[in-house]
Every structure is written in structure tokens, then in C-alpha cells.
Structure 1
């Protein structure tokens, strides 16, 4: 298990230059050729999303009133209410429209040909087991405090579990963004 705090995160410009994102974790070579990446973006205005051809994208609003994404072949995607993940192809040309002011969103992007990925939001009110065989898990504490294997995690902290690594955690009230990534083949 590896723990990450704000000191480990990196603020970087959006691929399209329209804003910045805080990169929580990246697997692979980084830049445009990463295998998978977890980030939090602050969206202050309507505008286009960067295209990430060959990538699957998972997104959920974590602050603000959400936004509507337009441009995908299946019609609008409403990133609202908070803590409900939505998924779409990074190949799609997407424009966003804020519902009522700025939004902060949580993102997982993964290279489609190499890995399967998913994003979930979990509320912890007692105990929790994280980790699975053949799955890399990245958990980010959105709210509250959590104790995992004797380590205390505060809001904004993250943990990375390699495949097969299983840990138990506990909290009286916490909310986690949980990313699951599994190699294809």
C-alpha cells in the first residue's frame, strides 16, 4: 500500500490549454502516452474537453452543481448529482456546459486497448475491505477520515493497492472515490 498526500500531487495544464488539473496518480510514461491517470479538475467555464483518443474516461462531480457534456453519439451526459460516476469515450469531441457555476470533478482515464477501468463512489460508515486479485485499486478520500492498516488518511489523501493487496479500513463517516484498473489479456 502506498499513501499519497497533497505534497505528491502535480498541477498541470489541460491538454487543450483551457484550464488546469491536479494529477493525483499516473501509471505509465506520463504525458500523452500514460496507461491510466487519476486527476481532479476545476471547471470554471463552459468549454471543450480535451480529446484523448484510445482512452476510456470516467468522471464525477465532487463539488458544485455539475455540468452537462454534449457531443457524444449517445446524446448529453449529465454529470450531476455529485458522486455519481459517468463514463464516455475519450475519442468523442465533447463540450461542457456548467449547470450553475464552477464545478470540481474527479477523473479516471485509461488506455482502452491495455486496461479495463471503473470508477465508484463509496460511503464508509463502519469497516471496509479494499483490494482484489488482478486489480490495481486507487482510492481518494473525498470527505472524512479513514484508518487503513494502522495509517490515518484525511480528506484529500489517496492510497494505491497493487493487484492482490488486500487491506481493511474503518471510519465513522467517510466518502471515497474508488478507481479499479485491470490489465487486459
Structure 2
């Protein structure tokens, strides 16, 4: 079987990470976390949510070609946060959360990526973002929402899933599509 990267993407607050983690456990596939230079939010754990690195470590990894699907975001406070995946994590089938550009970059590099775009009713999504209690400013939430919408307009995923209803229904749909992918249909 060819190794596949099952990549989940979606606007902030759609539940993409929750869905990806459940699928990772269900299929016993590693959940790959991105490296990032952004500060850790309350409740996050290094190695579980992200691999938090400083700029020096990031630059060293980047210079050595150890990162793939890299992206930079200028945030509302003026800082630049960098994200990327360690290439060593991409040797086997896995599950991860990526941006559309990260998915496209991995595909262009020859990786077999199956993409799931998680959507949700806008009102529910914005409520989720506001309830995270992760100290994001309103300016940052607005910036992310605008940036996300611009990026996703140009992206064509393999599967689109509306996560506005029951999480179990979303998981079942994803599992059905993954079973088809695994069987080559």
C-alpha cells in the first residue's frame, strides 16, 4: 500500500483538529504536529498541539531542509509566526492538520495527500473561536477569519465535510471516505 497523508483543513474553529485526532486514534495512524514559532496558548502542550521552537531552531531546521509545507503569518500584533512539518514525519501514512497551501506543497513534492475540508455554519464557528479562552485578541480573530476565507476560496479538496451537526456523523463520513481511499476506490 502506498503511504498516504490524510490532511484535514478548514477555517479556524471548524473542529478540524478534533476530527483529525479522532481519526488518527481510530485508524491507529500517527497524528503529526506542526512545528511553530508562535507562543504557546493556555492549555497547549509542546509535542501534543505543536512543536514549539524558537527562531534559531526554526532557521536551523529550515536551512537543513528538514521542514516541509512551511508557511508564515503576520499576525495582528505585528509578529511573524512560522509553521511547518518535519520531513522525517512524512515517511509513513499519517494524519495531520494543514493549510491548503501546505497540502498543495506536499502534493507538488510527490506526497500522496488525501484532503478533507471541514466546514461549519459561520455563526457556530465564530462562537467556537470566541469560547476557546486562548487569549486571542478580537483583532487576531478578525485577521485569521479574513485570511482563512481568502486562502480557502482557491482550494479544491478531495472531500468537503460539514461539521455543523453531530461530531459522530462527521467522523463516520470521514471513515467511510478513508476506507474507500484505502481500498483504492
Q: TM-score, normalised by structure 2?
A: 0.28
Which structure: greater helix fraction?
2
Q: TM-score, normalised by structure 1?
A: 0.28
Which structure: greater strand fraction?
1
Structure with more contact order per residue of length (Cα contacts < 8 Å, sep ≥ 6): 2
